[in-house]
Amino acid sequence: MIQDMKSDICLIKKRHKTREIRIKDLTIGGSNIIRIQSMCNIKTAYFKKVLNQIKKLENAGCEIVRVSVKDDDDINGLKKIIKSAELPVVADIHFDYKLALKSVEAGVSKLRINPGNITDKWKIKEIVSAAKNNDVPIRIGVNLGSLEKSLLQKLEAGKISVENAMLESALSETAYLEELDFKNIVVSLKTSDVLSTVKSYMLFSKKRNYPLHIGITETGTLRCGLIKSSIGLSQILSYGLGDTIRVSLSADPVEEVYAAYKILGALNLRKDTPDLIACPTCGRTEINLIKIAGEVEKILFNVRKPIKVAVMGCAVNGPGEARDADIGITGGKGVGLLFKKGKIVKKVKESEILGVLKKELDAMIK
């Protein structure tokens, strides 16, 4: 009841209307759900390991997966991966346009090219021609770290702002693809600076309506990365922008998928993720709440239902404070309590409370 109440303040702007683009069986853009993607961090040539990682990502809820294609060994791996993977596979291409052509031939679902890394127009033209003939969309993935040389020089001379340099790179590449009558385009404009990235997406969205792949790049470790990505992506999403999301972390890619769900969930932009409520511990806490909350998080890791679960440190106030949780546990001095919607439904030994919760959750999920 409580969480459905609304005031008239609107924190999330109306979604920016973008074109629809097909990636294998998925459609992104328009009013379609914001899709979650990640990237494998194993060399694509090692296709068995990569497929194993893709399976894990899929279990975590990943919907599009990207692999880097760096040489012909990777192309061989890519072929095998595309044959076996359920998820749409995106090939990440830098420098060598021939690898893009070979990736299309291998049956890839989408290409990512970096405008700063393939600059000869005739090479782009060949890529576009292959993509067009095979109905493969292209992401123009602008990255501050690898802008075209001319833009970098302007940047370093202080003649252009970061966000305008990003915009210019994205616009000149889209303009060239449009010249070639190709509009099967997705665009990203990533920097490692949170605010510059938000501004770059805002500027581009005023100029074109291609679907946006959103992300903050090079955000660092799990901690730093979660913080910068959560801030930047929530800002971008609040402006109504974003059709597919990647949280870039220097961590296991599964963490990227988990974080993406949590970010979209906190903004009510996806409902298929549980919400875990846990009180910050304080001097009144009498159980090992940090450990128990961690265990509950593990149980919920791959769950794709909108269940609200609470872990409270205080048996007296806990159930009441978490009264809008579908299910919750609390404990203290040897006793574990299971509660639903604020009402205590079971009292067990503290040591048994996690097992009881798991059983109840399994039943709720089925």
Judged by CB under 8 A, the stretch of 29-37, 103-111, 174-182, 304-312 that binds its own copies is 304-312
Q: Which residues make Cβ contacts (< 8 Å) with residue 341, sequence separation at least 6? A: 323, 324, 325, 326
Residue nearer to its own copies on the CB measure, 109 or 196: 196
One symbol per residue from 225 to 264: x for binding its own copies (CB under 8 A), - otherwise; what is it?
Answer: xxxx-xxx-xx--x---------xxxxx--xx-xx--xx-
Burial 72-89 (b: 16+ CB within 10 A, else e): eebbebbbbbbeebebbb
Judged by CB under 8 A, the stretch of 98-106, 134-142, 175-183, 270-278 that binds its own copies is 270-278
Smallest separation (angstroms) from its own copies to the CB of 365 = 18
Smallest separation (angstroms) from its own copies to the CB of 123 = 19
Judged by CB under 8 A, the stretch of 23-31, 124-132, 213-221, 345-353 that binds its own copies is 213-221
Q: Which residues make Cβ contacts (< 8 Å) with residue 355, sequence separation at least 6? A: none
Smallest separation (angstroms) from its own copies to the CB of 251 = 6
27, β-bridge pairs: 22
Which among 296, 263, 345, 308 is positioned nearest to 1, based on CA atoms? 308
- DSSP summary character for residue 16: P
* Distances in whole angstroms, Cα of residue 232 to Cα of each of 28, 58, 63, 220, 228: 21, 25, 21, 14, 6
Using CB under 8 A, which of 58, 285, 340, 356 touches its own copies?
285
How far apart are the C-alpha atoms of 28 and 22, rounded to whole Å? 6
Interacting residues with its own copies between 30 and 89 (CB under 8 A): 39-44, 50, 67-68, 70, 74
The footprint of its own copies on this chain (CB under 8 A) covers a number of residues equal to 97
How far apart are the C-alpha atoms of 93 and 71, rounded to whole Å? 10
Using CB under 8 A, which of 125, 183, 323, 340 touches its own copies?
323
Q: Report helix angle 72-84 to 97-106, nearest 10.
A: 30
Which among 355, 199, 359, 247 is positioned nearest to 292, based on CA atoms? 355
Smallest separation (angstroms) from its own copies to the CB of 180 = 27
One symbol per residue from 335 to 364: x for binding its own copies (CB under 8 A), - otherwise; what is it?
Answer: ------------------------------
Strands (E), 78-176: 89-93, 110-113, 138-143
One symbol per residue from 144 to 163: x for binding its own copies (CB under 8 A), - otherwise; what is it?
Answer: xxx--------xx-x-xxxx
Strands 21-23 and 244-245: unpaired
Using CB under 8 A, which of 14, 122, 181, 280 touches its own copies?
280
CA atoms within a 13 Å half-sphere pointing along the CA-CB vector of 300: 28
Judged by CB under 8 A, the stretch of 29-37, 168-176, 318-326, 357-365 that binds its own copies is 318-326
Judged by CB under 8 A, the stretch of 14-22, 179-187, 221-229, 331-339 that binds its own copies is 221-229
By CB under 8 A, tell whether 306 contacts its own copies: no
By CB under 8 A, tell whether 276 contacts its own copies: yes
By CB under 8 A, tell whether 143 contacts its own copies: yes
Q: What is the identity of the amino acid at 342?
A: G
Smallest separation (angstroms) from its own copies to the CB of 163 = 5
Residue nearer to its own copies on the CB measure, 7 or 133: 7
How far apart are the C-alpha atoms of 294 and 300, rounded to whole Å? 10
Judged by CB under 8 A, the stretch of 79-87, 138-146, 178-186, 347-355 that binds its own copies is 138-146
By CB under 8 A, tell whether 174 contacts its own copies: no
- Sign of the four-CA dihedral 309, 312, 315, 317: negative
Contact 146, 152 (CB under 8 A): no
